[in-house]
Structure 1
């Protein structure tokens, strides 16, 4: 057995040991899951190093790639990249299926469960959840992808999408790649503008959730009152 096979065998044994210690696949890291997926297909490269390469830009970015992009970007052969792409596509379909079922928002944690994938991203993504009159999620849309520390969003784009979806209300969310969920002055100002615009068009903004290592509800933290209009005492 050569050196690469030895370290791969050790890596796979560690993943299986971690799984069987609790029999819970949710306890495995993204890297461990990638190692498990590719273990039958890779022989001449370190599984651990391949997994690190694949995850360097986050799981969400990996899931967005085509088979050709996975192959050319990470040096996988057609069989390996097609296998991985198929697994990622299955995950996307499961995610779309979950949103097509009744996901009812009762708390900020419910929102975080829907948008937790934002934690994996290295740029700010601003997303909108569209809700019906029963607070069930009827859709999700990414409105803006910003730089590492800024995201450009206009209320017009948010509510145009909400009207198109026939939403009764919306919840917006964006991630802080730093992992710190404290709102910036720009976050607070944008929330105020969206709340005001929602009052005008009749589609209520229920909350703005910031996703870091933890999630923060701007409504619960008092950053939700529309800014006073000119002439208001």
Structure 2
């Protein structure tokens, strides 16, 4: 199918979801990006471009310059500037100050830091990197798809943590079903990562599961095994 036909189909589907309810809040992040990108991209499938952007993570993308956006996604100057302007407007409307320190003191702070996960229609496993004072140094999407030990590998998690000089990490992922109850695999993967982190001197502080506006802390449930701890 030609790119133009693929794009027509993608935008029709996104708009169709909106017009059925007239509520933009039910659109997924991917749907919103497709609508934003529609007037910008003619030679690339919108669905694929949106997936590439979401794989990087919206908070990360919002910090990029116009040039960095253009290099990452093959955009021209006009396209990358438009996208940068959209991110900047969203940041201002949300009252987010990129220079403001984000300190994690509770699972609610984690939920607030990854609140965008509730809009994804696929599971996204993200990692927050913290210093010795629990200040967030950065965030990275480790995998997209149903969480498993094959997708969430210690190598990928701790390579990023070492690169950022992290003292500790916190994991979060979403359940598109809206039920934040951790699965057995969620718990097994968390504890496997905790064991790997202990060998590197990087503590796994928690793993928060997001389901809609609800969340569950694996640590607060007493399900996180802390090597050498109680």
TM range (shorter): 0.5 to 0.7
Change (3 A) 1:100 1:204: farther
Q: Which residue of 2 aligns with 1:217?
A: 217
Matched positions, count: 174
* Residue of structure 1 in register with 2:19 after alignment: 49
Cα distance in 1, alignment partners of residues 138 and 35 from structure 2: 24
Once the two structures are superposed, the pairs formed by residues 4-15 of structure 1 within 5 Å of their partners are none
Give structure 1 stretches of 5+ with no counterpart: 1-44, 75-80, 229-233
SS at 1:134's partner residue? coil
2:111 equivalent in structure 1: 112
Contact 1:125/1:142, CA 8 A, preserved across alignment: yes
What is the DSSP-based 3-state SS (H/G/I as helix, E as strand, rest coil) of the residue aligned with 1:170? strand
What is the aligned partner in structure 1 of residue 169 from structure 2? 170
Given that 1:54 and 1:62 are in contact with CA atoms closer than 8 Å, whether structure 2 keeps it comes out as: no
In structure 1, the partner of 2:142 is 143
- Say whether 1:192 aligns with 2:162: no
- Label 1:88 to 1:106 Cα distance change in 2 as closer, same or farther (>3 A): same
Asked whether 1:61 is paired with 2:59, we answer no
Relative distance call for 1:130 and 1:105 in structure 2 (3 A) is same
Task: Report the 3-state secondary structure (helix = DSSP H, G, I; strand = E; otherwise coil) of the residue aligned with 1:130.
Answer: strand
Cα deviation for residue 150 of structure 1 reads 3.9
> Separation in 2 of the partners of 1:160 and 1:203?
11
Give the ranges of 4+ consecutive aligned residues of structure 1 lying more than 4 Å apart after TM superposition.
50-57, 62-68, 70-74, 84-87, 91-97
Checking the alignment, whether the CA contact within 8 Å between 2:130 and 2:166 is kept in structure 1 is yes
How far off its partner does 1:49 sit?
2.0
Partner of 2:178: 179
Aligned partners of 2:128 and 2:171 also within 8 Å: yes
> CA RMSD for the aligned pairs?
3.7
CA distance in 1, matches of 2:190, 2:31: 31
CA contact (8 A) 1:63 1:88 kept: no
In the superposition, the TM-score normalised over structure 2's length comes to 0.63
Displacement after TM superposition at 1:89 (Å): 2.0
Q: Which runs of 5+ in 2 are unaligned?
A: 1-14, 48-78
Structure-2 residue corresponding to 1:35: none
TM-score by length of 1: 0.63
CA deviations over 1:185-232 (Å, ceiling 9, x no partner)? 11011011111011000010000000003010000001101599xxxx
Hey, what's the Cα distance between the residues in 2 that align with 1:193 and 1:216? 19
CA separation of 1:63 and 1:88: change in aligned 2, threshold 3 A: farther
